[in-house]
Amino acid sequence: MIYSVKYYNYFSENHIERITLNFSKFIKLASFSSLLILTCTSSINLEVTARPQSQELKPEELYQIVQTMVYSYYLDPSFNNQDLSIWSVDKRYKDKLKTYDDSKKAIQTMLASLGDRYTRFLDKEEFKEELQAIDAKLPGIGIQIGLDKSQRIIVIAPIQGTPAFKAGLMPKDEILEVDGTPTKGLSIEEVANKIRGNPGSEVKILVQRGNEKKDFSITRAEIKMEAIPEGQALKINEKACYIHFSSFIGKDSSDEFASKLKQLGTCQGLILDLRNNPGGLLDNAISIANIFMDDKLDIVSTVDRDGYVITKTTGDKRLLEYKGKLVVLVNEGSASASEILSGALKDQNRAVLVGEKTFGKGLVQLVKGIPDERGSAGGLNITMAKYLTPKGTDIHKIGIEPNYKVKLTEENYKNKQGPWFSDFDNIIDPKLDLKKTTDLQLKKAIEVLNKELLITSTPETNTTVSSTKTEIISPPPITEDLDKEKTKSEIIDNSKSVIKEETEIKKEESLPAKENAK
């Protein structure tokens, strides 16, 4: 069991403990819900739930359960410098909670007093979507949306191959209207709900892109999450390989990664592209780290409000073992599970990072379901810990700096010098030659890998980065002789516990935030 030792007695087979590393700006994916999730088997044991589960919860009982969860798990023991008892039913809502909506509004008001946008109540439909995301098949159009500092709803990234991607929605598009309804003043959840809908139905979205407004009519579909879309695991040359890993969401994503890497054959060097990867299942991040790292090395640690630390380390049960040179591409869209993996590889001197600083989501959230006779009364997404990289670094709201910084400008994107996979024509080209790419960050990654492999660079692979700033930040050597003396609490057994990151990603402060996908 991962990250759940302290809470073992609080879960049952019918509940999900989801540890969500959401983005610092509260992200929601338009098709799936959160960034990092873990399933476990144990039992819910709260006094207020000591009633037969065959009976439907009363509104007051639902409210009391949520308040008890906050008392039990919330990261800030001062509850935002207030006495949480002032929010008790007797003091605040005596005989006032008559319906489910009444309790929902009361819960939202109580949680708002914590001043934490990532701690929030999931109604029945939202929690249902959380469960659907485990199978990586979600209804919607396939975008990640978030709330920026100006409280605007913006597109974080379209998911490749989805209706949103094909329609041309782009990162940083501001969503002004959904089916004619202005988004100003609406929450992430409200906008997400308007974008979602039955597969085959149409949604109209008005966005602001720079100085112009654009209308989109997009047909909703069942979004199947693929970690590595077709044609995105390639040979760069006879010695070097490339894999674009777009999401950790699907429960089989790590298996898919191992399979693709094996199919590539001999790879003395590998570029792992995590750009615009919002995260996903924690199990996937752990399993992939295990492919690259030696035994008994720290991957990530969590710290709760009592200072209780749980560290996850590598073990000897691997899907695959890769000992070649490794370069990891990251940018501001790399969050949560992406940051766990890239942070571990960097801290353990196993990889060199190229690109831009990552998003910076370092909070851990627990998502618990609340059962009633109809299956679920909803759930609670609650901040219960923070996570640290192997060197003990708290990256929340800070991010991870690459060893080689290649900052892109708006002009670079206009000239198709940004991530190559953002151009749909590249996605569908099975004969793509990455040595001739105009992607400036990838060019730099190829250059760095070539040097590591002592390959004589050609003009194509060693093109000087222009129209952008390249900054070298004390890159560590890539070595296979890792520190084997650092051991911590647990050794991963690569069990198939399902961890998921909020893809409506869900995930935080989820822009990767508890993320929300539509």
Contacts of 119 (CB under 8 A, 6+ apart): 70, 74, 111, 365, 380, 381, 382, 383
Structure tokens at 445: 């990654």
Four-residue CA torsion sign, 422, 211, 506, 360: positive
Distance, in Å, from the CA atom of 505 to the CA atom of 488, rounded to the nearest integer, reads 29
Concerning whether 295 is annotated as a catalytic residue, the answer is no
Structure tokens at 148: 């920026």
Contacts of 243 (CB under 8 A, 6+ apart): 228, 232, 233, 234, 257, 260, 261, 264, 270, 271, 272, 273
Residue among 116, 273, 283, 347 flagged as catalytic: 347
Nearest to 407 by CA among 417, 397, 398, 399: 417
Residue among 4, 336, 422, 510 flagged as catalytic: 336
Residue among 25, 361, 405, 518 flagged as catalytic: 361
For strands 352-355 and 363-369, give the pairing.
Answer: unpaired
Structure tokens at 392: 């003990």
Helix (H, G, I), strand (E, B) or coil at 420: helix
For strands 269-273 and 325-330, give the pairing.
Answer: parallel
Question: Which amino acid makes up residue 77?
Answer: P
Complete DSSP assignment for 119-173: -EEE-HHHHHHHHHHHTTEEEE--EEEEE-TTS-EEEEEEPTTSHHHHHT--TT-
Concerning whether 306 is annotated as a catalytic residue, the answer is no
Concerning whether 246 is annotated as a catalytic residue, the answer is no
Distance, in Å, from the CA atom of 486 to the CA atom of 314, rounded to the nearest integer, reads 11
Contacts of 266 (CB under 8 A, 6+ apart): 239
- For residue 102, count CB atoms less than 10 angstroms from its CB and return exposed for 0-12, middle for 13-18, buried for 19 or more: middle
Four-residue CA torsion sign, 335, 431, 256, 243: negative
Helix (H, G, I), strand (E, B) or coil at 23: coil
Active site residues: 336, 347, 361
